[in-house]
Amino acid sequence: MFKATAQACANIALIKYWGKRNQAFNIPATDSLSLTLDKLTTTSTIEFSDKFTADTLSLNDTPLIKDARLTMWLDIVRKKADCTQYASVSSTNHFPTASGLASSASAYASLTVAATHALKLNLSIQEQSDLARQGSASAARSLLGGLVLLPSGTDPQGKDSVAVAIDDCSDWDIAMIIVVINHGKMKSMSSRDAMNHCAKTSPLYQCWLDTTSSDIKQAKQAIAQRNLNTLGTIMEHNTFAMHGAAWASRPPVRYATPATIAVLDSVNELRKQNIDCYITMDAGPHVKILTTHKHIDAVENRLKTITGVTEIITSGVGKHAALV
């Protein structure tokens, strides 16, 4: 039977991926560095069979007939396995309700493990990473646990743009607080569309690319030294550089809402009270706060007072994707 189920954790980038050097193979323009999170998981089941007449996707138990992006990715998988069968895919996010958090990383990471197992493809971890990246670049990072580096590489087909686990954080007390913000009727542009638009139209895009390699270098040093203050400071510089380039796109890409800004102000205030906490933001209004377990209560209590914060999810360090 060509069927398997796998689970993967979401990840949050401390140093972001924002723009591609190659669209066809979905290769990031810069290196990125992320933390895998144990509280946000996705479980995916895939079955290949002659009984199917099309690829189908059911997401969180809502059946969807077609997903062109998924079919393109399934074609890559089928070609590797010499398979001609359509697939039925079912993916469930175990995220707290209506969090509005992106899930393509954990979805394509879990699908990579499930699909390669279902089709008995004996891929190396590097080949799995290459496959996951072609579904969603951040998915390559979700295949692995702890702190993960996804290099841009130089190979024209991205064979060296494969994720590497750089630290399992087993001796480091770090946590990520995800601050979910109600964005009302504001329609966010998907991260894929937004990064492509930014690369094409933002006069600050090249500046963004130029800042990343030193951010990665400093972040790696801070990790080796277990220096949360330095890591958090670089993480903040990096997210503001990404969002600055996005704001300068024409027309602008802006995700922050008044509640987002209120959270940023609160984190600044908390730091003045010697509470180690640092923010990062992705393609949405939510804020993610890097901190240590001893500060979680203080940070959460401050966040609960902010209008527009609808949910607070505190996560530890997640492990690699695996078959269920």
Of positions 40, 137, 179, 209, contacts ligand 2P0 by CB under 6 A? 137
Of positions 7, 43, 128, 136, contacts ligand 2P0 by CB under 6 A? 136
Asked whether position 17 contacts ligand 2P0 by CB under 6 A, the answer is: yes
Asked whether position 40 contacts ligand 2P0 by CB under 6 A, the answer is: no
* 159 to 131, 156, 221, 274, 288: CA distances (angstroms): 10, 8, 26, 44, 31
Pick the piece of the chain touching ligand 2P0 (CB under 6 A) from 53-61, 135-143, 170-178, 294-302: 135-143
The nearest distance, CB 14 to ligand 2P0, in angstroms, is: 9
Which among 263, 279, 196 is positioned nearest to 13, based on CA atoms?
Answer: 279
Determine contact, residues 119/83, Cβ cutoff 8 Å.
yes
114 versus 139: smaller Cβ distance to ligand 2P0: 139
107 versus 270: smaller Cβ distance to ligand 2P0: 107
Phi-psi region of 82 (alpha: psi -120 to 50; beta: other; left: phi over 0): left
Is residue 244 packed enough to be buried (19+ CB in 10 Å), middle (13-18) or exposed (0-12)?
A: middle
Please give the residues from 218 up to 277 whose contact with ligand 2P0 meets the rule CB under 6 A.
Answer: none
- The count of residues interacting with ligand 2P0 (CB under 6 A) is 15
Take residue 268 and report the two structure tokens written for it.
């600044």
Helices and strands (H, E) in the chain, number of each type: 9, 14
Beta bridge partners of 43: 7, 92
Pick the piece of the chain touching ligand 2P0 (CB under 6 A) from 11-19, 59-67, 156-164, 197-205: 11-19
Angle between helices 296-303 and 258-272 (to 10 degrees): 140
In angstroms, the CA 317 to CA 39 distance is 8
The nearest distance, CB 297 to ligand 2P0, in angstroms, is: 27
In single-letter form, the type of residue at position 250 comes to: R
Of positions 6, 10, 26, 152, contacts ligand 2P0 by CB under 6 A? 26
Alpha helices in the chain (DSSP H): 68-81, 104-118, 125-135, 137-142, 191-201, 205-224, 228-247, 258-272, 296-303
Please give the residues from 275 up to 304 whose contact with ligand 2P0 meets the rule CB under 6 A.
Answer: 282-283
Please give the residues from 177 up to 206 whose contact with ligand 2P0 meets the rule CB under 6 A.
Answer: 191-192
The nearest distance, CB 133 to ligand 2P0, in angstroms, is: 7
Please give the residues from 104 up to 133 whose contact with ligand 2P0 meets the rule CB under 6 A.
Answer: 104-105
Pick the piece of the chain touching ligand 2P0 (CB under 6 A) from 14-22, 119-127, 248-256, 290-298: 14-22
Strand, coil or helix: what is 318? coil
Report how far apart the first and last C-alpha atoms of the chain are (Å, whole number): 16
Determine contact, residues 158/126, Cβ cutoff 8 Å.
no
17 versus 95: smaller Cβ distance to ligand 2P0: 17
| Binding-site string for ligand 2P0 from residue 66 to residue 105, where x marks contact by CB under 6 A and - marks none | --------------------------------------xx
Take residue 27 and report the two structure tokens written for it.
């290769």
The nearest distance, CB 190 to ligand 2P0, in angstroms, is: 8
Of positions 18, 25, 48, 95, contacts ligand 2P0 by CB under 6 A? 18
* Sign of the four-CA dihedral 308, 288, 125, 30: positive
Of positions 13, 149, 189, 228, contacts ligand 2P0 by CB under 6 A? 13
Of positions 32, 106, 112, 211, contacts ligand 2P0 by CB under 6 A? 32
**Which residues contact ligand 2P0 (rule: CB under 6 A)?**
13, 16-18, 26, 32, 104-105, 136-138, 191-192, 282-283
